[in-house]
Amino acid sequence: MTNDSLKNDPKVLRAWCFYDWANSVYSLVITTAIFPIYFVALTKSPQGDMVDFFGYNISASVLYSYALTGAFLTIAFLSPILTAIADYGGNKKSFMRFFCYMGSFACMGLFFFTKQTLSVSILLFMVAAIGYSGSIVFYNSYLPEIATEDRFDKLSARGFSLGYIGSMILLIISLALVLYPELVGIEDSSLPARISFLMTGLWWFGFSQYSFAYLPSNPNHQKRTGSYLLNGFKELGLVVKQLKTLPMLKRFLIAFFFYNMGVQTVMYVASLFGSKELNLPDNALITVLLIIQAVAIAGAYFFAWLSGKIGNTKAIAWAVLVWIGVTIGAYFVTTGNEYYMLAFVVGAVMGGIQALSRSTYSKLLPETKDHASFFSFYDISDKVGLALGTLAFGITEQIFGSMRNSILTLLVFFVIGLIVLLTIKTKKLEATDAVVV
């Protein structure tokens, strides 16, 4: 592991956190807000929401779920191979930059998303998801290499908070375009949303340059020769063997797999649910998302503080209990006001559970230089879980004809995650009263 004396450089820590500012606009504008609403509006017709995808007739909302599933399974397959190569060659920043550029340019390409380009645009949507997910695994793996363990919780929370603030700013700009296009002379009703996709790609690409300027290319100063591909697979094999000797880390990955499956699926389908099941107008849905983002900033810092008082495992367990309550409430929600109340609660626990999960995994890692490879397993748990979550959500809707019934599948995921989480016992996750960074 990198010498602690080389860690906690304020400039590097700021650059790391700032990538959350850069890429989180994708999560909000493309994943959660403008794109899903635009997608529903574009594919809705008096005959239903059936669309033609390369000659195949399918429900638009089911296609949306399946597209995400395909994207996340792709990155789950590639991630361990690429991270092992990156660990061997000591060039994780190059991989991170590649996926960042892939995702940001795909977002820019969504500017051309119309009914006539639906099939190609869905593929771009998948490429954007692959780019975002691919860059995140390398980004997350920097945490134990640039900071000491006592700073993990607060630094992780700081990154997510910056991401929430940055994405709120771009969402407000996008919202102004969508609601008041006449102020800037826009007459085409589809153009404001498509401009927001373009701005998302430009924001992500542009602000990431600050992070790439200061993040170390090779924090462990590795100098390797030989075949990167062959030795990358050997590196991955060593990590897999080491993982087998770490029971608490394996348990956390299993717990994370299940509860995160519920968390991420909720975030990906929340707008579709509000639009399709509750018939909420677009401006109401975006207002809900702004509420979630604003509350999530405080939630991330609150749970970082709570982990210092009661420990990481207990703090995450409390967050999962709240998520269980959210899913039960979502099944019965019928009005806009009830949806707003749920959004407030979601925001309060969303930032906390995301930030704490990342820092908790970092604390459970052994002394190693293969951080990217270890984080690829974290990413696999995230992406395979999300792929299965969106797949289960889509299949349940297809079978029963209602997104409301799909919510019950998420409840099962949260309960299983909580049960496994409560079996994790280790001093590394006990209360520490961590310092503020």
DSSP type of residue 150: G
CB atoms within 10 A of CB 222: 12
At 342 the pLDDT is 86
Task: Confirm if 134 and 260 have CB atoms less than 8 A apart.
Answer: no
Instruction: Report d(CA 331, CA 405) in Å as an integer.
Output: 7
Find the helix or strand (DSSP H, E) in which 367 lies.
none
3-state DSSP helix/strand/coil % of the chain, to nearest 5: 80, 0, 15
Task: Quote the pLDDT of residue 97.
Answer: 94
Hunting for tokens 């498509």 — which residue is that? Answer: 194
* Contact assessment for residue 10 and residue 249, using Cβ atoms and an 8 Å cutoff: no
Q: Closest Cα to residue 29, out of 90, 118, 89, 108?
A: 108
Residue 353, both tokens: 């559970």
What value, to the nearest 5°, has the Cα angle with vertex 178 and ends 172 and 179?
90
> Would you write out the chain's pLDDT as a tens digit for each of its 437 residues?
445 556 889 999 999 999 999 999 998 889 877 888 888 888 887 777 788 898 888 888 788 878 887 887 888 788 777 777 776 667 788 889 999 999 999 999 999 999 899 999 999 999 999 999 889 888 988 888 888 888 888 898 899 899 989 999 998 898 888 888 888 888 888 899 999 999 999 999 999 999 999 998 766 555 555 445 555 556 566 667 777 778 888 899 899 999 998 888 887 677 677 777 777 777 777 777 788 888 888 888 898 889 888 888 899 999 999 999 988 988 888 887 888 888 888 888 988 898 899 888 888 888 766 666 777 778 778 878 877 887 788 788 778 777 788 888 888 999 999 999 999 887 777 766 544 44
Per the CATH hierarchy, to which homologous superfamily does domain 4-429 belong?
MFS general substrate transporter like domains (1.20.1250.20)
The encoded tokens of residue 338 equal 């009830």
| Amino acid in position 285 | L
Q: Where are the domains of the chain?
A: 4-429
Tokens, residue 401: 């004809």
DSSP string, 164-233: HHHHHHHHHHHHHHHH-GGGGT---TTHHHHHHHHHHHHHHHHHHHHHHHHS-S-TT-----S-HHHHHH
Q: Where are the alpha helices (H) located in 90-142, listed in sequence order? A: 92-109, 118-141
Q: Residue 196 burial (CB < 10 Å; 0-12/13-18/19+)?
A: buried
